[in-house]
Structure 1
Amino acid sequence: MGSAVGLAVGRGTGPELATVFTRTVEKFGLLYETEIGVARSPRIYHSYHSLMADGGTARIRRLTEEDAGHYEQFCRAQAALGTTAVFRTAMNAQSLYLVRERLQAVKVDVITTPAAELLVVRDEAQGFYTGENSHRPGVVTRTMTFDRAITEKVVAFALERARRQWPGQRPDRILMAYKFHLLDGALDEWVREISARRGVDLELCQPDTVNRNLIEHGLPARTLVISGNEWADIMHVVLLDRFASERQENRYTENVHLHPDVAGLSEYQTVHGSADDLAGRDLVNPVATLRAAAAIVEHHAHCPGAVRAMELALDDLRGRGILTADRGGRHSTTAVVDELLDVLAAHHLDGEHFAGSR
């Protein structure tokens, strides 16, 4: 059975990571004897660095909107074709946030400790990271919106995702981290009503209160945090470090679009940015992209066991010191990927770690 996934590429190290992604998907397709097509967007999207290279506010605004419009239409077209996953390398945040607002996106991440799991559902569809800019000499005014219907949609998604994460068990605690004191009590009112109607205890907290509680009390076994984008964007690297001893350079996340026009389309991304200073030097850490590729083929392209196979292959490379410089090694991006794909093939031939493959 064939499958298709989308691919969107930004500047900086995007082209190099796109090669890592396509090579990995092709390898899994061969190992699982399944055809996995990769539909690549024809546009190379700007990074912030590439936008600033030539400067000019009017030009930046124009290119930002062009990138956002193009990427939004690419996502809509992929969803219309029945594609359920897109891998995107880093692109300029302002363009990306416009698309997330228009397609009503949430970002999902699970942080695991030996004794607990933290499920973070980040509201990307509204709030301080969304909105439009207007300019007059010496002043930029940014206008954004909070919406009751969007809040309801985000909470409903988070509760359903928690049920999938912990089948048969309820979260021990559900926190909502928003700057609600700035909203005239409206968000308070909405959350109380949603909480009562759904029969769940939603604790609406200021972001600094959430931080204090996590530091003071740690994590219950199952914690769900529904958050404004601005809190989670800043805190993600801290949560990874404190609770999982992980680094963002090795992580990917999943964005799910809730707009009915693109329902069912997930976007996977590396947590790290475009790393323009490393572009074209064959030095970028490929681990986040490799993990994203494995997750996509397992969950969207009929390759059961791909995630576990990838983790074991990465463990193999780490044990032998085959790492990029940022992880303490001396190997290029290409050398790491070459070796990893060979390890995947060797494990497959040995009949290991590829449940469901032939």
Structure 2
Amino acid sequence: MPFHIVVLPGDGIGPEVTQAARQVLDAAAAHYKLTLNYTEHLIGGCAIDQLGTALDDATLAECQQADAVLLGAVGGPKWDDPTAPVRPEQGLLALRKGLGVFANLRPVRVYPALIDASPLRPEKLRGVDLLVVRELTGGLYFGQPKRRLEENGRRGAVDSLFYWDYEIERVVELAFQLAAARRGRLASVDKANVLETSRLWRQIVQQVAQRYPQVQVEHVLVDTAAMRLVASPAAFDVIVTENMFGDILTDEAAVLAGSMGLLPSASLGAAGGGLYEPIHGSAPDIAGQGIANPLGAILSAALLLRYGLKQESAARAVEQAVERALQEGCRTRDLGGSLSTQAMTEAVLERLSFEHPS
């Protein structure tokens, strides 16, 4: 059966790294006799320039029918005016909402070969292998009302932090399932000493925990979590948190790995498929130079194989090939090396060793 993958290269280095990910997907497809049909569409700043919107209805409709969506990055200085009525990130938010992907999975692993690439001391990084599960469609980014105010010569603004119980329960349920399949530890991050939404969050975590007695649960205030991610990151297994907290904490956690260019993500919903993208931005300062690190996109392709296409063996093979390449000294510039985007991609392809298809 053919799989339909929508590719949204986006802006900046997005086209370069999604091309790298496609090469790896094609290698997996050739070995496992999978048929992958790609269609490519615009999103972000390039979509604004050509279509007048960051994500048009036809592209969203095709993404909703696809088996998976592979995204590069959106944004850049050209579209950086926060007061503009149409902005690149609106396309990303609309895509997540339209696909119904409510959980963003961001694995953070410190490769032994790169332990010196992080600003943290090596002893802090040994054994770091954590997974952040971020709620993706609620909270401040989507809460209503949002408005600007002017009164008596003063200017103000309102954003609303809002969650329904079901929005919390579905992402927490997934986090418990993932923790049960890993090392059995779940840290729920909130700000329950201040926020009413966090108190609701904590209550629902406690309710769901009753269904997973094998998982050890702790409640961590977000400021404490930020501190512990630096002081003792190896103590975490799975972290689950709301939208904005997750956005901030995952960027902090990227420092552990040594480069944002290394980290993938998967955004999942109830209806299969999913959205897969590296966590880095569009890096306009290096776009078009062929020096971007493709590993975040390649590892996102591995997550696409795992969660979107249910090809676990292929996903593991890609992840192992990346680790071998790093272990054997292959580095792009952000990691202190000199390999181009294509050379790094080829280093991974050369080290792919697939299991025999079942």
Which band: TM-score by shorter chain?
A: 0.7 to 0.9
CA distance in structure 2 between the partners assigned to 1:332 and 1:13 by the alignment = 13
1:73 and 2:61 correspond: yes
Identity across matched positions, percent = 21
Following superposition of structure 1 onto structure 2, how do residues 1-358 of structure 1 map, counting pairs within 5 Å? 1-40=1-40, 42-46=41-45, 63-64=53-54, 67=55, 72-78=60-66, 83=67, 85-91=68-74, 92-101=88-97, 103-112=100-109, 115=127, 117-131=129-143, 133-135=146-148, 139-166=156-183, 170-171=184-185, 174-183=186-195, 185=196, 187-189=198-200, 191-192=202-203, 195-196=206-207, 198-199=209-210, 203-213=218-228, 219-220=234-235, 223-242=237-256, 245-258=257-270, 263-297=271-305, 299-301=307-309, 303=311, 305-315=313-323, 317-318=325-326, 322-341=330-349, 343-344=350-351, 353-357=353-357
Amino acid at match of 1:163: A
Task: Kindly indicate whether the alpha-carbon contact (under 8 Å) linking 2:179 and 2:238 is maintained by their aligned counterparts in 1.
Answer: yes
Amino acid at match of 2:176: L
Amino acid at match of 2:331: L
Task: Kindly indicate whether the alpha-carbon contact (under 8 Å) linking 1:11 and 1:274 is maintained by their aligned counterparts in 2.
Answer: yes
* 1:274 to partner: Cα distance: 0.9
Relative to 1, partners in 2 of residues 1:282 and 1:156: Cα closer, same or farther, differing over 3 Å? same
Single out whichever of 174-183 and 28-37 deviates more from structure 2. 174-183
Amino acid at match of 2:72: T
* 1:217 to partner: Cα distance: 5.9
* 1:213 to partner: Cα distance: 4.8
* 1:249 to partner: Cα distance: 0.7
CA distance in structure 2 between the partners assigned to 1:225 and 1:276 by the alignment = 31
Task: Kindly indicate whether the alpha-carbon contact (under 8 Å) linking 1:6 and 1:39 is maintained by their aligned counterparts in 2.
Answer: yes
Amino acid at match of 2:21: F
Gaps of 5+ in 1: 54-58, 348-352
Alignment size in residue pairs: 320
Amino acid at match of 2:354: F
Task: Kindly indicate whether the alpha-carbon contact (under 8 Å) linking 2:12 and 2:283 is maintained by their aligned counterparts in 1.
Answer: yes
Task: Kindly indicate whether the alpha-carbon contact (under 8 Å) linking 1:248 and 1:272 is maintained by their aligned counterparts in 2.
Answer: yes
* 1:154 to partner: Cα distance: 1.8
Task: Kindly indicate whether the alpha-carbon contact (under 8 Å) linking 1:98 and 1:131 is maintained by their aligned counterparts in 2.
Answer: no
CA distance in structure 2 between the partners assigned to 1:149 and 1:255 by the alignment = 18
Relative to 1, partners in 2 of residues 1:152 and 1:301: Cα closer, same or farther, differing over 3 Å? closer
SS at match of 1:105: strand
Amino acid at match of 2:22: T
Task: Kindly indicate whether the alpha-carbon contact (under 8 Å) linking 1:20 and 1:337 is maintained by their aligned counterparts in 2.
Answer: yes
1:11-43 per-position Cα deviation (integer Å, ceiling 9, x unaligned): 112222232222222222223333222233x32
CA distance in structure 2 between the partners assigned to 1:3 and 1:290 by the alignment = 18
Relative to 1, partners in 2 of residues 1:246 and 1:33: Cα closer, same or farther, differing over 3 Å? same
Task: Kindly indicate whether the alpha-carbon contact (under 8 Å) linking 1:13 and 1:276 is maintained by their aligned counterparts in 2.
Answer: yes
Amino acid at match of 1:22: R
Q: Which residue of 1 aligns with 2:116?
A: none
* 1:74 to partner: Cα distance: 3.6
Single out whichever of 211-220 and 25-34 deviates more from structure 2. 211-220
Gaps of 5+ in 2: 75-87, 111-125
RMSD: 3.5
CA distance in structure 1 between the partners assigned to 2:323 and 2:127 by the alignment = 22
CA distance in structure 2 between the partners assigned to 1:237 and 1:187 by the alignment = 21
Relative to 1, partners in 2 of residues 1:226 and 1:301: Cα closer, same or farther, differing over 3 Å? closer
CA distance in structure 1 between the partners assigned to 2:165 and 2:232 by the alignment = 31
* 1:268 to partner: Cα distance: 1.2
Task: Kindly indicate whether the alpha-carbon contact (under 8 Å) linking 2:139 and 2:242 is maintained by their aligned counterparts in 1.
Answer: yes
